[in-house]
Structure 1
Amino acid sequence: MSSAPHRFSSRRFPQGLVAQALEDALACGRCTPVLAISGLQGSGKSTFAAQVVEHAQARGLRAAALSIDDVYLTRARRQRLADRVHPLLATRGPPGTHDLPLALATLDAARSGRPFALPRFDKLADERVPEPHWERVDGLDLLVFEGWFLGTPAETEAALHAPLNALERDADPEGTWRRWCNQALAGDYPALWRQCDRLWFLQPPGFEVVPHWRWQQEQALQQAAPGRSGMSRAQVERFVQYYERVSRQALRCLPGIADRTLVLDAQRQVL
């Protein structure tokens, strides 16, 4: 069973914290608890999720990890959104670019104890992996669900008025894209957040570390698949601007929402 399809960091979290996360999830009383691990791009959430899965499996539990990245809309569906609403919606990542019915159905299947398949997404191809290649699971005792903005609430309308970065200023001067994403975050995602029994947040020192962390992630993805094209450093710098607004909202709000917050330094060490 593959436990961390997106892991790239060799830095591991203290085993004591991993054990605490597992115990926290199991203490919720669900037959199959969902432990949510939220953290901005490159924070190590996939590594942490993989460690929790490994620890659970070492105890004889059936465990697996799912990323919110695994339920991105297909490229064709994002293009239709881009044609209908705003061109920026062709790019995966922000709220509104996920297949929420698929995410909810996957979490429901995990809770049911019946066999099911875990969706996967190929980031270098920017496309969902065909369903016949999804990982089959014969039932779980724990699902670790990780993602860069899990649990994050929507912003107020007033917060959306001014562009936050060059991407918003140049490509979304009227605010159509950011308002559409914020409306999706307000109306569609809370149902998914409610499916999470425990929420742990990996808190970086600030958004300014995210471009560097995401570039490290991109390099690892490309090294793992030599010969396949990926993003350049300049493309990564622009790409993270799609995530900046909601990332800053997560930094403001999640420490007061999460069941546990782990404060990280710029090297992803837990302080």
Structure 2
Amino acid sequence: MTGSLDRVEQAVGRWLAGRDRPLILGLCGAQGSGKSTLAEGLQERMTARGVRTAILSLDDLYLDGPARAALATRIHPLLRTRGVPLTHDVPRGIAVIDGIRAGQPVTLPRFDKARDEPAPDTGPADGVDLLIFEGWCVGAIPQDEVALAKPINPLERDGDPDGTWRRAVNAALATDYAALFGRIDRLILLAAPGFEVVAGWRTEQEEALRRRIAATGGDASGLMDTAAIGRFVQHYERLTRHILHEMPARADLTLPLDEHRRLLG
């Protein structure tokens, strides 16, 4: 990850040079690709250079369980699972970014995944020079309608046979999320070698979490096993594959990774 961090720091330094307003940096990457680690490392380095830096994670914009349950009833049952477009508080994200761009002090949202509800905000962040907006689909654009016709995995085949869920997600990308992502000034992609590595990366994350919980004497019974992870990542397969196919051509910086998250080239 050090090689990726060096490349990102150099690029961000260039983008900030001579800039008289905050830089909104989008950081996209598949689950487990190292986005959070990279964002935290970049924040540390830029802060050391005197650049006032804050991080906004797409995960911290999640809607809570009851709100997603309402979406599941109104639109499609698969929206009960958090993660895909439609399951975030987009207006809150827009308000945070707009506040930072206007030079206003803002509080940053946080989400408690264990409790499945928002946690207390952090901040206020005031006079931010650089906002790192990171998330698995940050900067994503909708697919062509024809690409939605056929399911691409068992989850879509069995859980969304008529395509209602994937069309609703795609429509959100074309509307509310387009407004959110349109506020990004520069976009960086951590490009996985393929979707095939995502389940393994997600498993590594789960195992690390299991070890942290065990070290504190907590209850890790709610964590996912291999089979559950395999099904879980299918929620993100369509959009992850789409991102890896089309985003490299338009991202301001693409960092190709191998299966061990090492920077290629």
Normalising by the residue count of structure 2, what TM-score does the alignment of the two structures yield?
0.92
- Which ranges of structure 1 fall in alignment gaps of 5 or more residues? 1-10
Please tell me the residue identity of whatever aligns with 2:226: R
2:24 to 26, 30, 34: 34
The equivalent residue for 1:249 is 242
The equivalent residue for 1:4 is none
> Does residue 60 in structure 1 map to residue 50 in structure 2?
yes
The equivalent residue for 1:160 is 148
Please tell me the residue identity of whatever aligns with 1:146: E
Contact persistence 1:61–1:142 (CA under 8 A): yes
> Does residue 86 in structure 1 map to residue 79 in structure 2?
no
The equivalent residue for 2:167 is 179
The 1-side partners of 2:223 and 2:96 are apart by 28
Q: What's the CA shift for 1:128? A: 1.9
The equivalent residue for 1:5 is none
Q: What's the CA shift for 1:126? A: 2.7
The equivalent residue for 2:96 is 106
Change (3 A) 1:178 1:45: same
Please tell me the residue identity of whatever aligns with 1:140: V
Q: What's the CA shift for 1:30? A: 4.6
The equivalent residue for 2:179 is 191
The equivalent residue for 1:126 is 116
Please tell me the residue identity of whatever aligns with 2:253: R
The 2-side partners of 1:232 and 1:187 are apart by 35
The equivalent residue for 2:263 is 270
Instruction: Determine helix, strand or coil for the equivalent of 1:113.
Output: coil
What do residues 105-146 of structure 1 show as CA deviations (whole Å, max 9, x unaligned)? 0111222222221101122333221x3x43432331111111
Instruction: Determine helix, strand or coil for the equivalent of 1:37.
Output: strand
Change (3 A) 1:221 1:122: farther
Question: Which deviates more from structure 2 when the two are superposed, residues 218-227 or residues 38-47?
Answer: 218-227
The equivalent residue for 1:218 is 206
Contact persistence 2:21–2:101 (CA under 8 A): yes
Contact persistence 2:5–2:38 (CA under 8 A): no
Contact persistence 1:62–1:141 (CA under 8 A): yes
Please tell me the residue identity of whatever aligns with 1:37: L
Q: What's the CA shift for 1:261? A: 0.5
> Does residue 151 in structure 1 map to residue 151 in structure 2?
no
What do residues 231-251 of structure 1 show as CA deviations (whole Å, max 9, x unaligned)? 222211111000000001101
Change (3 A) 1:110 1:13: farther
Instruction: Determine helix, strand or coil for the equivalent of 1:119.
Output: strand
Moved over 6 A (4+): none
Change (3 A) 1:243 1:64: same
How many pairs are equivalent? 259
The 2-side partners of 1:122 and 1:221 are apart by 14
Question: Which deviates more from structure 2 when the two are superposed, residues 185-194 or residues 171-180?
Answer: 185-194
Please tell me the residue identity of whatever aligns with 2:244: L
Change (3 A) 1:147 1:107: same
Instruction: Determine helix, strand or coil for the equivalent of 1:268.
Output: coil
Please tell me the residue identity of whatever aligns with 2:251: A
Q: CA RMSD in A?
A: 1.7
- Which ranges of structure 2 fall in alignment gaps of 5 or more residues? none
Please tell me the residue identity of whatever aligns with 1:119: P
What do residues 45-87 of structure 1 show as CA deviations (whole Å, max 9, x unaligned)? 1111111111111012211111111101121111100011111
Contact persistence 1:12–1:47 (CA under 8 A): no
The equivalent residue for 1:208 is 196
Contact persistence 1:152–1:250 (CA under 8 A): yes
Change (3 A) 1:14 1:200: closer
Q: What's the CA shift for 1:28? A: 7.6
Contact persistence 1:152–1:253 (CA under 8 A): no
The equivalent residue for 1:7 is none
Change (3 A) 1:222 1:119: farther
Instruction: Determine helix, strand or coil for the equivalent of 1:152.
Output: coil
Contact persistence 1:18–1:51 (CA under 8 A): no
